[in-house]
Chains A and B, each alone.
Chain A
Amino acid sequence: MSTELVVLGIVVLTALAFDFTNGFHDTANAMATSIATGALRPKRAVMLSAVLNFVGALLSVEVALTVTNAVIKIQDKSGAPKTELTAQHGHALLIILLAGLVGAIIWNLATWLVGLPSSSSHALFGGMIGATVAGLGFSGVKWIGDASTKKLDGVVGKVILPAIFSPLVAMAVAAVGTALVYLIVKGIPSSFRAGKYRTGQIFTSGLLSLAHGMNDAQKTMGILTLALIGSGHWTDLEAIPLWVKLTCAIAIAAGTYVGGWRIIRTLGKGLVKIGAPQGFAAEASSAAVILASSHMGFALSTTHVATGSVLGTGIGKAGAEVRWRIAARLVAAWVITLPSAGLVAFLMWHLADLIGGFGGALAIFVLLLIASGAMFLRSRRRIVDHTNVTDEWPDSQSASAPAAH
């Protein structure tokens, strides 16, 4: 087996690993509020979400080949990689993709460890930007979109502006929805109404899971296929290989099933004390904002929307408790996600370049394994899983882990 084939294999594995982290990092977006209110038992919630993510991923029939075009210039408009990157079986392209993915995974794991719902798409874009700056220089990145196209584009248009607008919009929608709900059902005993909202929540969180599978798995599929094209193993620019679609769908579903319990806990229990009517309003708001945006081609992160909705539902209910200190931590994490993933990817690319060739790719892959292993071991010191994810949130605590027991 040629070494170039091994490098491609490493990129494929790393892309699937990213897809897996994308799954468990975002389980919370659809399910945190349903788990918190008891609408679904934790294990059932992740099972349902995993199945619907799988179905959603398979439904993305549309070609997502040009996913990197939003922020970097390594492909042309048709989706074909730039020819200067495809020499030597696409080694230059593969190293950029690999370094970018490694940066994204490490950031996803680090934020999971501390229980922060940061955006997986920001991590991915950040990683790709960092690796591209390292490999091609600053001019390889589309910082600001082309104004003549009348479309939101570039890092500013596709990443930064939506990250500011979408959580605010979701917050407003959820706040209005929550206020209306409590106004309408005022005076009805909670024992009578709670069960009905919990039933409603199963549908809204299911809808969110489906939308998530469709939106997010596409990105990994696009990057994986780009690697195959760059290394000369795939030529069709109109389609994605079936095995890529299947493995990506399985990876994101498996990640979802594992459940990022630390993040679920922060979003479901830490940010706002949520009742069933609030959970239903938050999920309806997230689903409406995500679907309306994708209808208009407005890129956004499901994480930002879900978090905005949860905050909004805290604002909309009179006397609800919102832990603003935790909210501030989340916002801080959002701001640094893109540059942090970018920085890791930048360093990884340079390390791979310094060592060179096959050894360079192998070195950063091994580094990824070591970093992931270390973070996993660290997480075992304070385990958060389906048994303790909904424990009461102690007031003094800003970290995600529940008290040891």
Chain B
Amino acid sequence: MWENLKLAFTNGWHVLVAGLLLGAGVPAVFSLGVRALAMGGAAQEGGRIRPIGKALGVLCFAIVVLAIGLGITFIVASGFGKKLDFEHIYPVLIDK
């Protein structure tokens, strides 16, 4: 029982850290993209999106798309008995 509780705490803690990184990080980066698009009064009526804002915005959205792609890769990979390994920081597919 006690062992269970300790394990649940450790697991819950790990999920919280990973969750904050991805689950709060992705919306934050996405919002930076929105902010970039709105640069220089582009969000105001009659405003136009600046090229630099567009470039930065697209960069942010690309990071978000990458993160979602990572999620899809994770699901598909675990279906085929592989898993994502983060030992080298960047993800690598290895056998389970």
Q: Hey, which bits of chain A sit against chain B, CB under 8 A? A: 56, 59-62, 144-145, 147, 150-154, 156-157, 161-162, 164-166, 168-170, 172-174, 176-178, 180-181, 184-185, 188-189, 192-193, 196-197, 200, 203-204, 207, 210-211, 214, 277, 280-281, 284-289, 291-296, 298
Secondary structure call for the B interface: helix
> Given A150-B7, A184-B31, A204-B68: A288 and B18 within 8 A (CB)?
yes
Some 13 contacts from A to B, beta carbons below 8 A apart, are A62-B81, A145-B3, A156-B1, A165-B11, A166-B12, A177-B24, A177-B27, A204-B68, A207-B68, A207-B71, A210-B72, A280-B30, A288-B22
Of all chain A residues, the one with the shortest Cβ separation from B17 is A292
Of all chain B residues, the one with the shortest Cβ separation from A161 is B8
Report how far A277 CA is from B31 CA in the complex, Å: 9
List 18 additional contacts besides A165-B11, A173-B16; criterion CB under 8 Å. A59-B75, A61-B80, A166-B12, A173-B20, A177-B26, A177-B28, A181-B30, A184-B28, A188-B35, A196-B33, A203-B68, A204-B68, A284-B27, A288-B18, A292-B18, A293-B11, A298-B11, A298-B15
Of all chain B residues, the one with the shortest Cβ separation from A278 is B27
Number of A-B contacts (CB under 8 A): 173
Size of B's binding interface in residues, CB under 8 A: 48
Of all chain B residues, the one with the shortest Cβ separation from A184 is B31
| Residues from chain A with Cβ under 8 Å of B65 in the complex | 203
Kindly provide the distance from the CB of B56 to the nearest chain A CB, expressed in whole angstroms: 13
Interface flags, B20-44, vs A, CB<8A=1, else 0: 1111111110111111011000111
Kindly provide the distance from the CB of A48 to the nearest chain B CB, expressed in whole angstroms: 14
Secondary structure call for the A interface: helix
Contact B43 A192 (CB under 8 A): yes
Kindly provide the distance from the CB of B88 to the nearest chain A CB, expressed in whole angstroms: 16
In-complex Cβ contact of A181 among B18, B31, B44 (8 A): B31
Most buried by B among A62, A174, A192, A294: A192
Kindly provide the distance from the CB of A214 to the nearest chain B CB, expressed in whole angstroms: 6
Of all chain A residues, the one with the shortest Cβ separation from B30 is A200
